[in-house]
Amino acid sequence: MADTVIVNGELTEQISVYDRGLAYGDGVFETILCRDGKLLLWERHLERLISSLVRLRIEPFEHNTLLTSMQPYLVGVGEQIVKIIVSRGNSRRGYAIPEQTRTNTIIFIANREKPKPDIMRVGVKTRICETRLAYQPKLAGLKHLNRLEQVLAQMELSDSKVQEGIMLGLQGEVIEATRHNLFLVKNGELFTPELSNCGVAGIMRTFIIEIAQQQGVEIHCEKISVKQLMQADEIFLSNSINGIWPVCELDGAPFEIGKVTCQLQDRVVELTSIA
């Protein structure tokens, strides 16, 4: 299904049934765009991967070999998507962590299916999902393997013409989309939800915040209500694969693709060659 799968340095599509990623979701993952053989924002992804493992107190893994093991499979032309799962390793039944554990690293490399070419300009239709994100400060921000909430939210969209679902937190505040972070623009200023209770602190999200700061755009990371979102001048989504996707519709209401979104999008494309 992917073109290449590398498990702990070896080409195989099998993993031990004792992996704690399977048993408990005890691990994290990264999804990275590779363009013409170059992993975009690689240092940032690696840095987040390592700091996420530290937060979960997962043994440091052999990240030096990560690049060398995938390098032969990153082709020089076109786009590939690289997904890296790092789990705490194998163990017997039970939550307790054995003294001797070695992380398992699984790298998936697949050619990118071309997105519809006009999606970057025309934008995507979105809807607010019923499934909410639970508050768990100990896991907030992490791209961990406990993702049943996103699976349930995605299922809500299966019959619709909507491309992405927006997820609220427990108290009804806006947090993110199922596969993207979320930004809104109001009176020329940029807003994105703070993620201390839930949500994934995306690499592209941080990158956009930095770009906005460089461009002199006022940026606010704070609690955002659905009302604020509906009254936004512009809304856009971000992740490491798609860069910036403008939102053209939310719960049936049309949104314009505005100046700030396009400026940021241009700058992201310029800096990362996402097009």
CA 188, CA 126: separation in Å to the nearest integer? 22
Surface-to-core class of residue 227, CB atoms within 10 Å of its CB (0-12 exposed, 13-18 middle, 19+ buried): exposed
- Beta strand 243-250 with 253-254: parallel, antiparallel or unpaired? antiparallel
Instruction: Kindly report the length of the chain.
Output: 275
Asked if residues 83 and 29 have their Cβ atoms less than 8 Å apart, the reply is yes
Closest listed residue to residue 37, CA positions, set 67, 7, 6: 67
Which string of x and - marks every residue 200-239 that binds its own copies (by CB under 8 A)? ----------------------------------------
Instruction: Measure the CA angle with vertex 252, ends 163 and 191; round to 5°.
Output: 75
Residue from 41, 86, 124, 153 touching its own copies (CB under 8 A): that is: 153
CA 139, CA 144: separation in Å to the nearest integer? 8
Instruction: State which residue, 17 or 253, has the beta carbon closest to its own copies.
Output: 17
Residue 262 binds its own copies, judged by CB under 8 A: no
Residue 90 binds its own copies, judged by CB under 8 A: yes
Residues 29-68 that bind its own copies (CB under 8 A): 29, 31, 56-57
Shortest Å distance, C-beta 19 to its own copies: 7
Residue from 47, 151, 225, 266 touching its own copies (CB under 8 A): that is: 151
Shortest Å distance, C-beta 104 to its own copies: 10
CA 101, CA 91: separation in Å to the nearest integer? 7
CA 123, CA 119: separation in Å to the nearest integer? 5
Shortest Å distance, C-beta 9 to its own copies: 14
Residue 155 binds its own copies, judged by CB under 8 A: yes
Q: How many residues bind its own copies (CB under 8 A)?
A: 63
Closest listed residue to residue 203, CA positions, set 180, 220, 236: 180
Shortest Å distance, C-beta 260 to its own copies: 29
Closest listed residue to residue 79, CA positions, set 30, 118, 40: 40
User: What does the block give as tokens for 237?
Assistant: 């989504």
Residue from 4, 69, 101, 146 touching its own copies (CB under 8 A): that is: 146
Residues 159-198 that bind its own copies (CB under 8 A): 170, 178-179, 198
Task: Summarize as ranges the residues that interact with its own copies (CB under 8 A).
Answer: 1-2, 5, 7, 12-26, 29, 31, 56-57, 81, 83, 85, 87-88, 90-97, 106, 108, 110, 131-132, 134-136, 138-139, 144-155, 158, 170, 178-179, 198
